[in-house]
Structure 1
Amino acid sequence: MMAQVVINGLTGYLILTGNLSIGVFFSIGNFASLIFSELVVLNQNTTMIQSAKDLNNKLLVELKPVNNKENGQNNIANFAKLSIVKLQEHFSNGEVVSYPDITIKSGEKILLSGDSGTGKSTLFKLILGELKPTEGKIIFKDKNGQQIHPDLAKIGCIPQDPTLFPGTIKENITMFNNKLDGEAEEVAKKMQLGTDLKNA
């Protein structure tokens, strides 16, 4: 903006000394205003592009594929068992939910039952890392019995009120796309749910 002031000042001086007419002055003023307006827009766009570039770089870092070799034993694929030890969750209303010490091995199917409000959903939130336990621990161990710290975002959870379409479990997973049957069966087999998928 300082450059525009200087140009206008110089133009005014030329008019006063008779070296420039009023018409030319207004033409130069409009021309200068147009140029500087476009420069401001260009500067804003450059800033936006740079910001987008920085954001894109951050996203690329966040979305970078996990290198299993780098993760070593913390890879969720090495998970062998989950132990819940002296786990408690305290709520703001003074209510305390205590859980029994249990160990769940990889591939085991566990039925968790109880009345509404007894802490079933809370337990899943604690396991998934959505809540931090007030007391106690949730321990993940690998096949060698060593404690691991897997990426909890890679643990899936189906809500208690899923929306299902009339049909088989496989059809609900593939959304009735027969081309995905093979992939659904392969994933179910990896999750040790192959038999369940076939029988449903």
Structure 2
Amino acid sequence: MMAVPAPRPLFPEPAHRRRAPHLVIIAVALGLPLGGCSFDLGSWGSDDKPKPAATADKPAADTITPQDINSAKDHTTRAQVLARSGKLDEAQAEFEQALKADPYNIQALYGRALIHQGRGQHQQAIDDFTAASGLSPQKAEPLIGRATSYLALDNARQAATDLDEAVQADPNNVAAWSARGQTYERLGDKAKAAASYNRVLALRPNDGNARSGLARTGG
């Protein structure tokens, strides 16, 4: 995984003034895989995942065959390997093929979202994170990812909403609590920010970013 940078304020100036490096800092602090870390969600995307109702632009779930599901898994596995090797164009093409075969493949949605996010295509990333979260609402990772893109679009309020959901879905997720602290700090809510940083330190006592955040928020 990426190394966490030395403690520093995550939001020292408005995002529109230096958006690209700002997003990278956010991603590193959250442990999000921009630039070749794991795109694999482990047990996500099992065959018994819930299928949403069909819409005009998506096929009915019962039109997806077992062969389609297996094909999507193969494309997704190849895409993950390519992504970890930094071959993002080829990885995205494989994720696209996976989603053509099975539009409900959560790993492919999440992986494509990370590629969009790394390229600064935040609305596309939000769309894919939203779809992945809808398919597996108990998972924190798509919510954290979507919050990161909302922050890059200067929508800290929506990011906070996602991170509130993320810590409810996974109360022991350090990345979610850390991002929540940073987001509420940006919004000027020092009490919620400090509470989040305290939770990070309860889970990871040597977290320098959380200690620095706690000092800034008076927690």
TM-score, with normalisation over the residues of structure 2? Answer: 0.23
For the pair shown, the structure with the greater C-alpha radius of gyration is: 1
TM-score, with normalisation over the residues of structure 1? Answer: 0.24
Q: Which has the higher helix share?
A: 2
**More relative contact order in 1 or in 2 (CA 8 Å, sep 6+)?**
2
